[in-house]
Chains A and B, each alone.
Chain A
């Protein structure tokens, strides 16, 4: 695939995501003109990039969406749910095309038909409105006349408005004049009659016969937002600001030439020319205008001269530009909205950020890992030198300390490169939730809190599937139907809250629904029926422990398997996926009030804190977050339970495994003296690991096992120790199974 196509893929995905996000926001706040502008800009740029790689089908499809958005910006239509749906469908199609391009390296073959389907949807949506987006010059004549009547406003006018309220509007509580005179940045206002005023005696004072017109400094989008909800017709036209000379005006060519020459004189003469020069230029311009019958404009220019030399250059220049501005903007005016300022925006963002291949950052992380190993080696040397009373020991130790500090700093910065905000994954949910909510016909609002919370890229990227499972479960089993909710005195629409927060070295994500909570009795019954645990075990479990069984393999309480969830793999898969990156999932439920599923995730998967232990002559690392405590007990207190052993700690019986034996060590232990036991916990289970000696706490960069070692059970990865030995890091979850 060539580089341009690659760039196109990256950018188009970003733009499509931006647009999708914006559209979903618009659905919640349809009045948000800024949001509409942002969506329009993204879609517009997306269309442009399709053009660059000659992808005509995409160009066509996105163009259709752009037309609709453009009509909405100009106030010709209001985006409703169906229209937003069309736009989302279009973006969906674009994303599918992008996937195809990524897979095949070529533009998709059968895309024309798909583009037809998309444009057909938009065609139907725009319906009668479609011709409006290609308004003729006649439709905009009023705006030119309005400008002509208010020459003083032309320099600043951005938008022209003509509002013909519905004749019945007074009965609906509308006050169109107040509304229009309250327009932001209003420059000129006129009120006239739609039909000629009847004789006063037959005037119906409660029937609106007004036509209101205004010129404002506000953008078309702002004006649209201000006038949304007005009855009758509301024409809002952006006033094209053209440089003189580009289009025809009603000034004769010679007059234009003369005026342009004066303008150039004024422009060039900003500082060097005297008042006299400016005054004579102004006088000439005024004369030319007068000779063309433009007395108003001539008056404006002449008054400037009369005003004296202070600051005459600027207003004179502005006045001349105004006069030369096209009187008949023709089709330019017909464009529903001005071109979005896409180019400057881009320049701004590219200068501050750099797009780097994730591979390169990963290799930097690996190198930093090696550096850490090298540093540990130096630490080893320093302590050797110290023990042998080498004169260099002190200097070596000082160097090591400096080195240590720098490397820690570097490690932090490098890991920060891999950090992404959770927004990356969270932003996909509003859209999905909308679909699920429609499919299940259960209205649900999604609340996202803390989406700026950051975590390692690897974690952010793996989160989507587990979170989706949990959210689907919440929709399917948690949130009740609208009628049931109404019966329980809850708002009809359910709420799902997705909350993220940084807690020390960990990132917490909570998914809370305000549904019915987990039905503990049902979970107990189903667990017994499916043999998830023995009946006597189930009987002994507390409600919280029973609730936790939803994570057990092969468990599902859904009465029927739906397309969404209930295949009995969801929550099990969630716990496994989260455990794989060193995280934990827990569930808290309150009957009738809702359920919270909490993910506790490490901030970075690359750095792990372990406690080193020795067993069977080999060093092992136990991830520190699984270690509950370490104890020393007389070997005599280890009781044999069947083939295994157990120890009683604070009235709790904990099974004890011999780490050396478990990992293939054959030598047998003596049965006297004390036993050193590390108590580890995972998913609520506790287990003691008997070791020969306890080591120290180490910050390591874990390397996953690969090649021949990949299959070793109970080991999650390795790292090199300072003295060159390999530290095997235990996978406690796997050991406990």
Chain B
């Protein structure tokens, strides 16, 4: 499982996040409104997962470990979240 809720109440995205986990991420975001998403350990995320983040616009903690995510999505998403 690469998506989890930490003890401190952050949603943690780790390693590779496949499309099946979009549902779980959505549930976590719905159940803990305002939670910070920490995707620093995340190396890659499927479009479905990113779509949930785009729709929910949670505060993001980054940059993620994956180069493409860091370069093309993190700054874009944090800028958009502002």
Q: Kindly list chain A residues whose C-beta atoms are within 8 Å of the C-beta of B76.
A: 189-191
Please state if B46 and A178 are interface contacts (CB–CB under 8 Å).
Answer: yes
Which of the residues B23, B44, B46, B51 comes within 8 Å of A209, measured between beta carbons? B51
Q: Which of chain A's residues 151-191 have a Cβ closer than 8 Å to chain B?
A: 165, 170, 174-178, 181-182, 186, 189-191
Contact with B along A201-226 (1 / 0, CB 8 A): 10101101110000000000000000
A200 interfacial by beta-carbon distance below 8 Å: yes
Closest partner residue, chain B, to A192 (CB atom)? B54
Q: Kindly list chain A residues whose C-beta atoms are within 8 Å of the C-beta of B19.
A: 170, 175, 206
A197 interfacial by beta-carbon distance below 8 Å: yes
Q: Which of chain A's residues 274-325 have a Cβ closer than 8 Å to chain B?
A: none
A193 interfacial by beta-carbon distance below 8 Å: yes
Min CB–CB distance A168 → chain B (angstroms): 12
Q: Which of chain B's residues 26-82 have a Cβ closer than 8 Å to chain A?
A: 26, 29-30, 44, 46-48, 50-52, 54-56, 68, 71-73, 76
How far, in whole Å, are A198 and B52 apart by their CA atoms in the complex?
A: 11
Given contacts A191-B76, A200-B56, contact A206 B48 (CB under 8 A): yes
B13 interfacial by beta-carbon distance below 8 Å: no
B11 interfacial by beta-carbon distance below 8 Å: no
Please state if A206 and B47 are interface contacts (CB–CB under 8 Å).
Answer: no
Min CB–CB distance B70 → chain A (angstroms): 11
How far, in whole Å, are A206 and B26 apart by their CA atoms in the complex?
A: 11
How far, in whole Å, are A170 and B55 apart by their CA atoms in the complex?
A: 16
Closest partner residue, chain A, to B54 (CB atom)? A191
Q: Kindly list chain B residues whose C-beta atoms are within 8 Å of the C-beta of A174.
A: 47
Given contacts A181-B73, A189-B72, contact A208 B51 (CB under 8 A): yes
* Interface size class of chain B, counting residues whose CB lies under 8 Å from the partner chain: 20 to 34
Min CB–CB distance A208 → chain B (angstroms): 7
Please state if A170 and B47 are interface contacts (CB–CB under 8 Å).
Answer: yes
Min CB–CB distance B11 → chain A (angstroms): 13
Given contacts A200-B56, A206-B19, contact A181 B72 (CB under 8 A): yes
Closest partner residue, chain A, to B47 (CB atom)? A177
Q: Kindly list chain B residues whose C-beta atoms are within 8 Å of the C-beta of A175.
A: 19, 46-47
Please state if A193 and B54 are interface contacts (CB–CB under 8 Å).
Answer: yes
Closest partner residue, chain B, to A177 (CB atom)? B47
Please state if B48 and A200 are interface contacts (CB–CB under 8 Å).
Answer: no
Q: Kindly list chain A residues whose C-beta atoms are within 8 Å of the C-beta of B25.
A: 205
Please state if A181 and B68 are interface contacts (CB–CB under 8 Å).
Answer: yes
Which of the residues A190, A201, A208 comes within 8 Å of B47, measured between beta carbons? A208
Given contacts A193-B55, A200-B30, A200-B56, contact A178 B47 (CB under 8 A): yes
Q: Kindly list chain A residues whose C-beta atoms are within 8 Å of the C-beta of B56.
A: 200, 203
Which of the residues B30, B48, B71, B73 comes within 8 Å of A208, measured between beta carbons? B48
Q: Kindly list chain A residues whose C-beta atoms are within 8 Å of the C-beta of B30.
A: 200-201
How far, in whole Å, are A205 and B54 apart by their CA atoms in the complex?
A: 11
Please state if B72 and A176 are interface contacts (CB–CB under 8 Å).
Answer: no
Which residue of B29, B54, B56 has the most chain A CB atoms within 10 A of its CB atom? Answer: B54
Please state if B52 and A191 are interface contacts (CB–CB under 8 Å).
Answer: no
Q: Kindly list chain A residues whose C-beta atoms are within 8 Å of the C-beta of B50.
A: 177, 191
Which of the residues A182, A186, A203 comes within 8 Å of B52, measured between beta carbons? A203
Min CB–CB distance B13 → chain A (angstroms): 14
Min CB–CB distance A661 → chain B (angstroms): 90
Q: Kindly list chain A residues whose C-beta atoms are within 8 Å of the C-beta of B47.
A: 165, 170, 174-178, 208, 210
Closest partner residue, chain A, to B52 (CB atom)? A205
How far, in whole Å, are A203 and B55 apart by their CA atoms in the complex?
A: 8
Please state if B23 and A206 are interface contacts (CB–CB under 8 Å).
Answer: yes
Given contacts A181-B72, A210-B51, contact A203 B26 (CB under 8 A): yes
Please state if A200 and B73 are interface contacts (CB–CB under 8 Å).
Answer: no
How far, in whole Å, are A178 and B72 apart by their CA atoms in the complex?
A: 10
Contact with B along A544-578 (1 / 0, CB 8 A): 00000000000000000000000000000000000
Min CB–CB distance A485 → chain B (angstroms): 42
How far, in whole Å, are A92 and B46 apart by their CA atoms in the complex?
A: 48
Please state if A191 and B73 are interface contacts (CB–CB under 8 Å).
Answer: yes
How far, in whole Å, are A190 and B52 apart by their CA atoms in the complex?
A: 15
Closest partner residue, chain B, to A191 (CB atom)? B54
How far, in whole Å, are A189 and B76 apart by their CA atoms in the complex?
A: 8
Min CB–CB distance B45 → chain A (angstroms): 8
Please state if A205 and B73 are interface contacts (CB–CB under 8 Å).
Answer: no
Q: Kindly list chain A residues whose C-beta atoms are within 8 Å of the C-beta of B72.
A: 181, 186, 189
Min CB–CB distance A41 → chain B (angstroms): 33
Please state if A197 and B46 are interface contacts (CB–CB under 8 Å).
Answer: no
Min CB–CB distance B1 → chain A (angstroms): 16
Min CB–CB distance A327 → chain B (angstroms): 23
Please state if A170 and B44 are interface contacts (CB–CB under 8 Å).
Answer: no
Closest partner residue, chain A, to B26 (CB atom)? A205
Q: Kindly list chain A residues whose C-beta atoms are within 8 Å of the C-beta of B23.
A: 205-206
Q: Kindly list chain B residues whose C-beta atoms are within 8 Å of the C-beta of A182.
A: 68
Min CB–CB distance B62 → chain A (angstroms): 15
Min CB–CB distance B8 → chain A (angstroms): 22
Min CB–CB distance A187 → chain B (angstroms): 10
Q: Kindly list chain B residues whose C-beta atoms are within 8 Å of the C-beta of A205.
A: 22-23, 25-26, 48, 51-52
Contact with B along A358-377 (1 / 0, CB 8 A): 00000000000000000000
17 cross-chain CB contacts under 8 A: A170-B47, A177-B73, A178-B44, A178-B46, A181-B72, A189-B76, A193-B54, A197-B55, A200-B30, A200-B55, A200-B56, A203-B55, A205-B22, A205-B25, A206-B22, A209-B51, A209-B55
Q: CB within 8 Å of B: which residues of A?
A: 165, 170, 174-178, 181-182, 186, 189-193, 197-198, 200-201, 203, 205-206, 208-210
Given A182-B68, A205-B22, A209-B55: 12 more A-B contacts, CB < 8 Å? A165-B47, A175-B19, A177-B46, A177-B50, A178-B46, A181-B73, A198-B55, A200-B26, A203-B52, A205-B26, A205-B48, A208-B48
Q: CB within 8 Å of A: which residues of B?
A: 19, 22-23, 25-26, 29-30, 44, 46-48, 50-52, 54-56, 68, 71-73, 76
Closest 6 CB pairs of A and B: A205-B22, A177-B47, A197-B55, A189-B72, A181-B68, A181-B72
